[in-house]
Amino acid sequence: MYFARRALLAVLAVLFLTLPATAQDKFITVASTTSTEQSGLFKHLLPAFTRASAIEVRVVAVGTGQAIKLGEKGDADVLLVHHKPSEEKFIAEGWGVKRLEVMYNDFVVVGPDSDPAKIKGITDVSAAFRKIAETKSTWASRGDASGTDLAEKEIWQALGIAVSKSGPEWYRELGQGMGPTLNTSAQLPAYTLSDRGTWISFKNRGPLQIVVEGDQKLFNQYGVMLVNPAKHPHVKVELGQQFIDWIVADAGQKTIADYKIEGQQLFFPNARKQGS
Amino acid sequence: MSEILSAFSIAFDLIVSLDRELIEIIRRTFLVSLSAVAIATLIGLPAGAVLAVVRFPGRRALVILINALMGLPPVVVGLVIYLVLSRSGPLGFMGLMFSPTAMIVAQCVLIVPIVTALSHQVLRELYEEYREQLCSFGATLPQMILTILWDGRRNLVTSVMAGFGRAVAEVGAVLIVGGNIAGVTRVMTTTIALETSKGDLALALALGMILVVTAIALNASAFLVGDAAPARQGG
Amino acid sequence: MPSLPLSLENVSLSIGGASLIEDVSLTLHHGPRTIILGANGAGKSLILRLSHGLLGPTRGSVRWGGAERLGPLRRRQAMVFQKPIMLRRSTRANAGYGLKIAGMPRSEREARVAQVLERVGLARLAERDARVLSGGEQQKLALARAWALDPEIMFLDEPTANLDPTATAAVEAIVNEIHAGGAKIVMTTQSLSQAKRLADEVIFVHRGRVAEQTPADEFFANPRSAEAAAFLKGELAW
Ligand SMILES: Nc1ncnc2c1ncn2[C@@H]1O[C@H](COP(=O)(O)OP(=O)(O)OP(=O)(O)O)[C@@H](O)[C@H]1O
Ligand SMILES: [Mg+2]
C-alpha cells in the first residue's frame, strides 16, 4: 500500500517537474483554417520559420468564419485564411492592417463510386452541380461558414439554386469541419466539396473518389493579414509582421512549394505575382 | 472491424515506441486535468462539507442548483469562458486565451459542481451519523467540517475521481478555450477529435484506448492510496 | 458547578406534529445519582437530549445554572448514547476525540486515553477500527470516551444494555467512581435491579410526561404515581 502511494507521488512529481520542456517565450497566435492544419502544411512550414526567427507559431485551426471572429476579438495576432470577400470585409472594417496573398490550393468534388449524378469527368464544376441538383443526388455541405463552405455556396448561388439548412431534401448541412464532413459523406454516401489537401491525407474514404477537378472556379486563394493593433493594442505587431514577411518572401514561398503528400504538391505559392 | 483491430496494434506500437509527441500529449492531458481536479477539490470538498453541516436559508435551493450544474454542457461552458477570457472579454487583459490555464479554468468550472455535489452527498450521510456525538463534544463548525472530511476521505476519493473522469474525458470546452494548438494546448481528447476528423479512425481509437488505460491506472492508484491512508482496518 | 442546577421548565417537544414530550418540569441538583425509569418509548432518551442541549424544546425552557444558552458549558458535559456513535477511526482515536475537540495537547491526551481504555478493558484493542468492535465493546468505548472528558454532568442512556454481567458490574463501578469524583450522574436503565443499586433519586417518565421525581428508597418502597407502581410490578399497560 505504501508502494502505491509512493508510485502515485512519483508519477505526479515527474508530470510537474518536467513541465517546461516545450514553450518558447516568443510566440504569436495564428488563426487559420482546419484544412490548412489538417493537410499537414503547418507541421512542415512552421518549424522552418521558427528555426529562422526563434518565434514559435501557435496555430488555432477553425473555420474561416470563426478565424475571422477570433481576429475581430483580438484573440489572434495573424490570420491565414481563404475567403477573399470575408478577408476584404475584415480589412475594410479596420480589423486587419493589410491583406497579402500567399498561396492557393484547389477544391475537388468528391462523390461515391456509383456516381448517381453521372458527373465523373465533367470539367465544368457548375454543370456538375446542376446535374447533382437535377438528379437530387445527396450532397453533404459543411455548413460551418468556413472558406470551403462559402466557396461551395457561391457556386450554388451563381446557378440560382437555393440551398440552405432547411433544404432541399437532398441537401444536407452538417455544421462540421472538412474531416467530419468527409466521414459523413463516406457513410451516406454523398457528394461534397473538399480541399485537395484534406482529401489526400484523409484516411477513411470508403466509396468516395474525386469526380470533378481542375476548374478555375475551384481555385482557392489564401491571404494573410495582421490584426490591427489600433483595435487591439496587445497584438504582437513586430513578431506577427516577421511571420508575414517571411511567408510571402522566397524562403516561405519555397517551403510551401516543397510540401508534398504522396508526391503531390498541395499548395502553390503566388505571393509575389499578386502583391496586395 | 478492421479499424478496431488495427487500433490495437497502433496503440501497442505507440506505447512500446514511447512516441515523444504522444508522451507530451499524455503528460499535458494529465497536467491540465489534475490541476483542474486539484483546484476543484480545494473548492468542492469544503463547499460540500459546508453544505452538509451548516444550515442557512437557501441551502436546499443551492444543493438543487449544484446538482443541476453537474450536467452543464461543456460547449456552453467553453463558450462562456471563451467570451470571458477573450481579449475583448472582461478578463481579456490577462491574456489567458488558448493557454493550458484557460483549459484548467474550463475543466474546473465543469467539475466543481460534480465534486461539490458528490462530496456533499457523502458528507451529508456521514454528518447525520456523527451529528449528535460531535454536538455532544461541543465541536465548533470548523471542527465538525474537518472531522467529516477526514473520516469521509475514502468515499471522497470517488467524488474526486468522478470529477477527474469528467475533466480528462471532456473535449468540447477545452477545444474552444484551448484551440487545440499543437505542442501547447493539444490534449488526448482534442487529438482524438482531430484524428477522427482526419478520417484516421484507427489512430483515434488507439489514442482513446491509451487514454482509458492511463485513466484506469490513475484511478486504481488513487483508490489504493485511499485504502493505505491511516486508521488501519483491524478487522 | 456552572451547569447545575439543571432545570426543565414546562418543556414540551413535538417533532413533525407528534407531541413527544408534554409539559415536563424537573430540576437536577448536584449530588444525587439520578436514574430515569420508564417503559419503552416513554421519552427517557428525549429528556436526556433536551437536558444535554442536543434538542431544543418546542415550548418551555431548559436552564443550566440559570443560563438558557449552553454555549461552551457543553464541553463540561458528556453523554453516552443508547446507540453508540463510532467515528471511523481506531478505538484509541475514538476515546481521545472529545479531548482533541476540547483542545487538550496530544501528550496529555495520550496518557488520559491509555488510562480510560485500560479501565474499560479495551487497551488491547486500542488500534482496532472502532466500527468493528462488538456491541458491548462499543458501549464500553463510548463510556471511556465520555469519561475521558472528566465532565461535570455525565448523561448515560442505558449504558449496560448489551453488556455481560462482569462488564455490567465494571461499568457500575466506573459510574460510581465518576460520581465519587464529583460528577453529576443522570442515567436511564431498563434494569430495576441496577436502578436499585445505583439510584439516589428516580424520575419516572410515562408517555412523554414526568410522573414523579422521588428519592430512590421511597420510590421503590412506595411509588407516588399509579403508573410507577404498575411499572414496578411489571404490570404497566402499554
Ligand atoms: N426524531 C423523532 N421523530 C419522531 N419521533 C420520535 C423522534 N425521536 C423519538 N421519537 C418518539 O418519541 C418517543 C420517545 O422516544 P425515546 O427515545 O425518548 O424513548 P425511550 O424512553 O428512550 O425508549 P427506550 O426505552 O425504548 O429507549 C418514542 O415513541 C419515539 O418513537
Ligand atoms: Mg431510549
All cell numbers assigned to C13: 417537544
Q: How far apart are CA B163 and CA B158, in angstroms?
A: 9
Query: Which residues of chain C neighbour B135 with C-beta distances below 8 Å?
Result: 53-54, 74
Query: How far away is chain B from the Cα of C230, in angstroms, using its nearest Cα?
Result: 34
pLDDT exceeds cutoff 70 at B44 = yes
Q: What is the pLDDT of residue B235?
A: 33
Mean pLDDT of C151-170: 91
- Measured in angstroms, how far is the CA atom of residue C121 from the centroid of ligand 2? 25
Query: How far away is chain B from the Cα of C90, in angstroms, using its nearest Cα?
Result: 6
Q: For the whole model, what pTM was predicted?
A: 0.83
Query: Which residues of chain B neighbour C125 with C-beta distances below 8 Å?
Result: 234
Q: How far apart are CA A267 and CA A253, in angstroms?
A: 10
**Residues A188, A193, A198, A199: is their CA dihedral positive or negative?**
positive
Give the residue with greater pLDDT, C50 vs B8. Answer: C50
Q: What is the pLDDT of residue B234?
A: 36
Query: Which residues of chain B neighbour A232 with C-beta distances below 8 Å?
Result: 87-88
pLDDT exceeds cutoff 70 at B1 = no
Quickly state the pLDDT bin for B163 (edges 50, 70, 90). very high
In angstroms, how far is CA B23 from the centroid of its own chain? 20
- Nearest CA to B200 out of A40, A112, A172 is that of A40
Let me know the angle formed at the C-alpha of C73 by C68 and C79, rounded to the nearest 5 degrees: 105
Query: Which residues of chain B neighbour C122 with C-beta distances below 8 Å?
Result: none
Q: What is the pLDDT of residue B232?
A: 42
Cβ contact (<8 Å) for B133 and C81?
Answer: yes
Q: How far apart are CA B189 and CA B199, in angstroms?
A: 15
Tell me which residues have their CB closer than 6 angstroms to ligand 1: C 15-16, 18, 20, 38, 40-46, 82
Q: How far apart are CA A232 and CA B47, in angstroms?
A: 39
Question: Could you read off the pLDDT of A165-181 as tens digits, one per residue?
Answer: 777 889 998 888 888 89
CB contact B74 to A (< 8 Å): no
Lowest mean pLDDT among A166-170, C123-127, C140-144: A166-170
Any idea how long chain A is? Answer: 276
- Nearest CA to C208 out of C7, C19, C8 is that of C19
Which of B132, B134, B231 is closest, CB to CB, to C90? B231
Q: What is the pLDDT of residue A167?
A: 75
Q: What is the pLDDT of residue A255?
A: 94
Please list all protein residues whose beta carbon sits less than 5 angstroms from ligand 2, which is an ion.
Answer: C 45, 82
Which of A58, A74, A182 is closest, CB to CB, to B88? A74
Nearest-Cα residue of chain A relative to residue B217: A8
pLDDT exceeds cutoff 60 at B32 = yes
Query: Which residues of chain B neighbour A62 with C-beta distances below 8 Å?
Result: 179
Write the ipTM.
0.90
Question: Could you read off the pLDDT of A16-27 as tens digits, one per residue?
Answer: 655 544 445 789
Question: Could you read off the pLDDT of B132-141 as tens digits, one per residue?
Answer: 999 999 999 9
Q: What is the pLDDT of residue C219?
A: 93
Q: What is the DSSP letter of A268?
A: E
Q: What is the pLDDT of residue A6?
A: 64
pLDDT exceeds cutoff 90 at A94 = yes
Residue to mutate among C70, C87, C92, C152, with most B CBs inside 10 A, is C87
Say how many CB pairs under 8 Å bridge A and B. Answer: 103
Question: Could you read off the pLDDT of A38-90 as tens digits, one per residue?
Answer: 888 999 999 999 999 999 999 999 888 889 999 999 999 999 998 888 999 99
Query: Which helix or strand (DSSP H or E) is residue C141 part of?
Result: helix C135-148
Sequential DSSP letters for chain B = -HHHHHHHHHHHHHHHTT-HHHHHHHHHHHHHHHHHHHHHHHHHHHHHHHHHH---TTHHHHHHHHHHHTT--HHHHHHHHHHHHSTTSTTGGG--TTSHHHHHHHHHHHHHHHHHHHHHHHHHHHHHHHHHHHHHTT--HHHHHHHHHHHTHHHHHHHHHHHHHHHHH--HHHHHHHTT-TTTT--HHHHHHHHHHTT-HHHHHHHHHHHHHHHHHHHHHHHHHHHHSSS----
Pick A2-105+220-269's CATH classification: 3.40.50.620, 3.20.20.10, 3.40.190.10, 3.90.1560.10: 3.40.190.10
In chain A, where the domains are located: 2-105+220-269, 106-218
Mean pLDDT of A198-223: 88
How far from C105 is each of B136, C98, C101, C108, CA to CA, in Å? 20, 12, 10, 6
Q: How far apart are CA A114 and CA B133, in angstroms?
A: 78
Q: Give the three-state DSSP class for C26.
A: strand
DSSP 3-state percent helix, strand, coil across chain C (nearest 5):
40, 25, 35
Q: What is the pLDDT of residue A74?
A: 92
Question: Could you read off the pLDDT of A212-229 as tens digits, one per residue?
Answer: 998 888 988 999 999 999
In angstroms, how far is CA B19 from the centroid of its own chain? 26
Give the residue with greater pLDDT, C148 vs A205. Answer: C148
DSSP 3-state percent helix, strand, coil across chain A (nearest 5):
45, 25, 30
Q: What is the pLDDT of residue A135?
A: 93
Beta-carbon contacts of C3 under 8 Å, excluding residues fewer than 6 positions away, are C64, C65, C73, C76, C77, C152, C153, C184
CB contact B34 to A (< 8 Å): yes
Cβ contact (<8 Å) for B24 and A232?
Answer: no
Q: How far apart are CA C116 and CA C181, in angstroms?
A: 14
Torsion of CA C41, C45, C49, C52, to 10 degrees: 150
Q: How far apart are CA C144 and CA C99, in angstroms?
A: 12
CA max distance for chain A:
73
Cβ contact (<8 Å) for A5 and B225?
Answer: yes
What's the first-to-final CA gap in chain C, in angstroms?
Answer: 39
Q: What is the pLDDT of residue A177?
A: 84
Domain A106-218 has CATH 1.10.760.10: no
Q: What is the pLDDT of residue A26?
A: 87
Could you identify the atom of ligand 1 that is nearest to the CA of residue C39?
A: 25
- Nearest CA to A29 out of A1, A55, A3 is that of A55
CB atoms within 10 A of CB C229: 15
Q: Compute the radius of gyration of chain B from its Cα atoms.
A: 20
Phi and psi angles of residue C162, each rounded to the nearest 5 degrees, phi first: -110, 15
In angstroms, how far is CA C129 from the centroid of its own chain? 25
pLDDT exceeds cutoff 80 at A149 = yes
Query: How far away is chain C from the Cα of B208, in angstroms, using its nearest Cα?
Result: 39
pLDDT exceeds cutoff 80 at B50 = yes
Query: How far away is chain B from the Cα of C135, in angstroms, using its nearest Cα?
Result: 14
- Nearest CA to A114 out of A84, A135, A144 is that of A135
> What is the span of the domain harbouring residue B10?
2-234
Quickly state the pLDDT bin for B231 (edges 50, 70, 90). very low
Quickly state the pLDDT bin for A7 (edges 50, 70, 90). low
Query: Which helix or strand (DSSP H or E) is residue A25 part of?
Result: none
pLDDT exceeds cutoff 80 at B225 = no
Q: How far apart are CA C84 and CA C195, in angstroms?
A: 21
The answer to whether A2-105+220-269 and A106-218 have equal CATH topology is yes
Ligand 1 pocket, mutate which of C44, C79, C156 (most atoms under 8 A from CB): C44
Mean pLDDT of B29-57: 94
**CATH architecture of residue range(s) C6-84+152-232:** 3-Layer(aba) Sandwich (3.40)
Mean pLDDT of C99-104: 92
Phi and psi angles of residue A257, each rounded to the nearest 5 degrees, phi first: -65, -30
Do the Cβ atoms of B22 and B210 come closer than 8 Å?
yes
How far from B121 is each of A218, B55, B61, B209, C73, CA to CA, in Å? 60, 15, 15, 32, 32
Q: How far apart are CA A30 and CA B111, in angstroms?
A: 30
Q: How far apart are CA C138 and CA C140, in angstroms?
A: 5
Phi and psi angles of residue C67, each rounded to the nearest 5 degrees, phi first: -90, 140
CATH number (domain holding residue B37): 1.10.3720.10
Residue to mutate among A36, A73, A232, with most B CBs inside 10 A, is A73
Q: What is the pLDDT of residue B93?
A: 86
Cβ contact (<8 Å) for B181 and A7?
Answer: no
- Nearest CA to B161 out of B41, B57, B62 is that of B41
**Chain C contact partners (≥3 CB pairs within 8 A):** B
pLDDT exceeds cutoff 90 at C148 = yes
Lowest mean pLDDT among B74-83, B89-98, C108-117: B89-98
Place of cell 486587419: A96
Quickly state the pLDDT bin for B54 (edges 50, 70, 90). very high
On the CB side of C102, how many CA atoms lie within 13 Å of its CA? Answer: 23
In angstroms, how far is CA C75 from the centroid of its own chain? 15
Any idea how long chain B is? Answer: 235
